């Protein structure tokens, strides 16, 4: 399946690392003009792209949890390119904390980044996306559908994002809206579980619970994002795509 996004404009949040970076690179390789945004401008600037694609690669600091920043970003994009074909709400963070340890600040932060931000970005981008018969792809998590422990707030936000995506698809049918539920993907977000050798041991243990026998690669989520954004998915809207190497096909007691 060859994807061709020539002439299309794509906005990715949280594009300086992990899945967002892989998504941005995939779209760039498929011919799109990519607006790669992140809260960390230094990390964005450190990304290198093939010289022949540099004219289609734009970076912008954007706090995907901040309403004013989101509106200013979409306004800028509208003035700069006059169109938007795909919005990927990817920015995220993970925390390991029991419900007893949850603070108001931790709840507010996770809600803002993982749920409020995608809602506001979708709302801001809808007029441009509708003009382009465009698509929204939200990045949730299998945490939305399994109980792993230590992630109650994260899981609730991701479950909310799944539900929001369905409503988006129904209320604004001109824009196809879909949500991906990644499993365990090898990105810097896993530092929430530990560092160095301890983290490697955790990853090795995780892999033993994954039917495919390994963690996923960011590029494997990017493949799914491009598919859902492409004409190959023209009749797919309001759908949830699990990309987890078989984890959620496994009985919970074996996890």
Q: Furthest-apart CA pair in the chain: how many Å?
A: 53
Of 90, 76, 74, 82, nearest in space to 8 by CA: 82
Rank residues 11 and 129 by Cβ distance to ligand NAI and give the closer one.
11
Report the 10 Å Cβ neighbour count for 85.
22
Report the 10 Å Cβ neighbour count for 251.
6
From 154, 165, 187, 244, active-site residue = 154
- Positions touching ligand NAI (CB under 6 A) are 13-14, 16-20, 38-40, 43, 63-65, 90-93, 113, 139, 141, 182, 184-185, 187-189
Rank residues 14 and 160 by Cβ distance to ligand NAI and give the closer one.
14
Active site residue 154: yes
Rank residues 42 and 52 by Cβ distance to ligand NAI and give the closer one.
42
Residues comprising the chain, all counted: 255
Rank residues 114 and 169 by Cβ distance to ligand NAI and give the closer one.
114
Active-site amino acid positions? 154
């Amino acid at each position: 399946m060859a994807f061709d996004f020539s002439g299309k404009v794509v906005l990715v949040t949280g594009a300086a690392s992990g899945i967002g970076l892989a998504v941005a690179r995939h779209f760039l390789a498929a011919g799109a003009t990519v607006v790669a945004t992140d809260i960390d401008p230094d990390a964005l600037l450190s990304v290198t792209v093939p010289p022949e694609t540099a004219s289609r690669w734009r970076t912008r600091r954007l706090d995907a949890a901040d309403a004013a920043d989101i509106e200013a970003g979409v306004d800028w994009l509208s003035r700069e390119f006059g169109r938007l074909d795909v919005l990927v709400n990817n920015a995220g963070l993970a925390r390991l904390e029991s419900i007893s340890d949850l603070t108001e600040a931790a709840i507010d932060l996770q809600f803002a980044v993982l749920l409020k931000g995608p809602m506001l970005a979708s709302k801001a981008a809808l007029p441009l996306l509708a003009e382009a018969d465009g698509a929204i792809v939200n990045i949730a998590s299998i945490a939305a559908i399994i109980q792993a422990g230590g992630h109650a707030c994260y899981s609730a936000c991701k479950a909310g994002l799944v539900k929001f995506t369905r409503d988006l698809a129904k209320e604004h049918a001109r824009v196809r809206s879909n949500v991906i539920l990644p499993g365990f993907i090898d990105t810097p977000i896993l530092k929430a579980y530990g560092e160095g050798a301890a983290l490697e041991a955790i990853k090795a243990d995780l892999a033993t619970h994954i039917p495919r026998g390994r963690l996923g690669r960011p590029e494997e989520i990017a493949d799914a994002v491009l598919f859902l954004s492409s004409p190959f998915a023209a009749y797919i809207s309001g759908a949830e795509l699990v990309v987890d190497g078989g984890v959620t096909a496994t009985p919970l007691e074996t996890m």
